[in-house]
Structure 1
């Protein structure tokens, strides 16, 4: 069945014009004449039988359907471009592993060790992207992912990697203000978006009631929380292995040596269809051996 898809050149001309709101600027980016870009957009409008642009006071603006279409076309063109780049990385000697990682886990733990993986498996080309929450593998060009939480990712194989211990950390100036756990009730607690109950769990484990355990500024990434703590914005509750460098450098201090084991763990997750993929197997075996070696 013939697909109802406009010409790629028309879509690229439209996407570029929509970003610049100018046929002239689009022409400059695409190394075309202004007239050629305008004609490509006109061909697309005829194909769709929808007006995508209009001119108001000599300014080019998108119509309402044009805005909706531009958003979707831009996303699809980016996906096609990414898929093209990924296919171009294949060669007869290498297999490709597209791995989604937690940003701070990647920076603090995984990436410093990847030279070992490259040495052990020079035939595997590893591409990294970041994801904070579970996603649908069927809609992403991702083979596997590092996940923190419960082993409840639907339709995936989940291999437990490790647990973690969390402890409070803060700047030296903030540390000097704290003499007991109860002092934290009057100090800003830095929160992590995907771990909203972390402080509440920590206070319960140390046997202290803190009505403000859920209050405080929230950050999407643990790396942001670390930097906020270093800057003296408040006290952070961090996985111990992620702040070892900052503690050794004196950038962060530990007001109380109360490390509490997190109820959740880190997992390697991948769809069942990738369970026999050589690159996934090699990475799984490598990361498990790396964790076992300490």
Structure 2
């Protein structure tokens, strides 16, 4: 079902606010692209309206080309932030589309292609953001990699390492570098997952990394609070992004998100407000939080 126009005084019905059926079988080669998805995800291109909550901020978003990262980039720009995004070189087309949306909001877009598995790249994108945008106030550690697993005995070591390096090593490398530049009032936001609380065997190694990121968020909040730096995480449930058709699932797409209390998968646009809140001064007393956006599934 397409987005409903049926409005009640209390707001739109969340069960039918977006596409609420299962998805057709489709597969992509990782990292996947937005253009090939059916239906196309909503990143808030037409709907997000800013109100100046992040005026003058400088943000770096990993995996900012598509999915949740694109939705956050659009929202941050429309709230007044300049935005740097990192992405794999194969995602150049998606990145350029996101860059254009940032610039249409009147803000500076900085595109940073490369692989977060590379420690030197992790450090360099922090440095480039500071040099090109004049500083760094908000770091969004969003990029992630997952693949369907038939069992632990089938996982190639190289692929396991890719999951770990992308999802866990890169955030550590980037925070380590960013601390040279972050000032009191800065915000670090991690994309965790419901998988960090309710893991699925078919993506057990991805789930392991999300457990790690929950711990990382909590311990960094404790460690960096005395420096005036807040650290929080958003824990998405099933969200329709290029990660999903490129995971290696097929039949699972027909029921993807249908087991949530709201009965559907979420759209990237429905995550943006959570990141804006955590980046903004409205969250000045919020640190160490794991904010669930899961369609009602409990963490």
Q: Same fold (TM over 0.5)?
A: no
Larger Rg belongs to: 1
TM-score by length of 2: 0.24
Whichever structure has more strand as a proportion of its residues is: 1
Higher helix share: 1
**Comparing both chains, which one has the higher relative contact order based on Cα–Cα distances under 8 Å and sequence gaps of 6 or more?**
2
TM-score by length of structure 1 reads 0.24
